[in-house]
Amino acid sequence: MRSFVPLYLSRVFRLSIFCLALLAPSGLVRAGEPEIVETFGAADAPGRLVIRSTIDLRIFGQVVDAYLETRPDLQIVYQQWGSNDLYQDSVEGCHGGDDPADMVMSSGVHQMVRLVNDACALSYRSPATANLPSALRWRDELWGVTREPVVMVYNRRLVPPSEIPHTRFDLLDLLRPSLSRYAGKVATYDIEQSGVGYLFAFADSREATTFGALLESFGRTDAVATCCSAELISGVADGTYLIAYNVIGSYAMELAYGDDRLGVVLPEDYTLVLSRAVMIPKQAHHPVEAQAFLEYLLSSAGQTELQRARLIMPLIGEVGAEGETISETALRSISLSPTLLVALDRQKRSHFISRWRETFEVARPPESDPQ
């Protein structure tokens, strides 16, 4: 049953009031369904652990397998969710949903911070969690377990080496000419549909003024906003897009290894580093199993597995096929702190999205432009 359901078609961003309501942090809207559900371990195992996560099963499955080798008594139900749906589901679970997860892992760390702020998480403290740097834990209820750079992916066949954008400024330069061949060929997350896309865009907006110029360039050149990492990367691979901006590095690396059409760049001006956050919901039925799994993820065995799955990346030194390197000062971790609550503020969010939307509105063909 390993298949991706359903992949959204890429499309130019479209305005939708309903979408806004969907993203509002109230529990009124019915959450979606998991994209994939997979059960690991023996069916008759006494222990049970339900994980809801945004990590691709394809990538994370090996970590779960490795863990279950040490825990033959455990059955793990792994559900892969989109970050927004997972957030909605967790909000419902927090407010008395009947089917809570035992562990939630999400790349939408701002949503996780919000869940913790709303007292939806169980507290847990151990030497391993206490050892985490303060940017990777909050309140002993939220822990960052991975270390993934946010990268640009390009098509190695269609983008000549001289034009590979090593920084955001390079990307701006590529888009500047009025007849740039990159027009309409640059893609990024649709920030309304993808929680992690929104998070990256929000982090960008706080990191540098480059973000404003990028938005403007994206708008002017008909850049494409689409849903998911997998789709972005496959689009680059097949030449639909030349460059994908702000892609989670783990997926890109994973695919780039097996596909010589794909190149990966860690932007040298700054590279965002995402740590996917783990929390144990307050209503979890199997919190002890969840804590044990968290311990595993933080143990050296677990870290090795996560590295093998490219969820923890050695960022200094050799990373990409081209031997991309990046200095340590350019790394910007998205730290788990209440500051991320700003990202989910309803007014802030609607302003941010409407600004994003206006950019893409301007980019529309003249005949459909009301102005």
Which of 347, 367, 370, 371: binder of other proteins (CB under 8 A)? 347
Nearest distance, CB of residue 128 and other proteins, angstroms: 18
Nearest distance, CB of residue 198 and other proteins, angstroms: 15
Nearest distance, CB of residue 206 and other proteins, angstroms: 6
CA dihedral 304, 40, 252, 230 (to 10 degrees): -170
Q: Which is nearer to other proteins, 123 or 327 (CB)?
A: 123
Which of 14, 176, 308, 351: binder of other proteins (CB under 8 A)? 351
Task: Give the span between the Cα atoms of 111 and 94, in whole angstroms.
Answer: 13
- Distance set, CA 219 to CA 34, 138, 216, 241 (Å): 32, 37, 5, 16
Which of 37, 158, 208, 341: binder of other proteins (CB under 8 A)? 341
Q: Work out whether 339 is an interface residue with other proteins (CB under 8 A).
A: yes
Residues touching other proteins: how many (CB under 8 A)? 19
Q: Which is nearer to other proteins, 125 or 157 (CB)?
A: 125
Q: Work out whether 342 is an interface residue with other proteins (CB under 8 A).
A: yes
Residue list 120-139, contact with other proteins (CB under 8 A): 134, 138-139
Nearest distance, CB of residue 118 and other proteins, angstroms: 6
Which of 33, 346, 358, 369: binder of other proteins (CB under 8 A)? 346
Q: State residue 54 phi and psi, 5-degree precision.
A: -95, -5
Task: Give the span between the Cα atoms of 212 and 190, in whole angstroms.
Answer: 16
CA atoms within 13 A on the CB side of 220: 16
Task: Give the span between the Cα atoms of 197 and 57, in whole angstroms.
Answer: 19
Q: Work out whether 21 is an interface residue with other proteins (CB under 8 A).
A: no
Residue list 188-207, contact with other proteins (CB under 8 A): 206
Q: Work out whether 295 is an interface residue with other proteins (CB under 8 A).
A: no
Nearest distance, CB of residue 212 and other proteins, angstroms: 15
Kindly give, in sequence order, each residue whose CB lies less than 8 Å from that of residue 5, ignoring residues fewer than 6 positions away: 35, 36
Q: Work out whether 11 is an interface residue with other proteins (CB under 8 A).
A: no
Nearest distance, CB of residue 231 and other proteins, angstroms: 30
Helices of type H across the chain: 17-23, 57-70, 83-94, 109-117, 127-131, 168-175, 195-207, 210-220, 229-237, 249-258, 287-298, 300-308, 341-344, 346-362
Task: Give the span between the Cα atoms of 51 and 77, in whole angstroms.
Answer: 6
Residues that bind other proteins (CB under 8 A): 116-119, 134, 138-140, 206, 337-339, 341-342, 345-348, 351
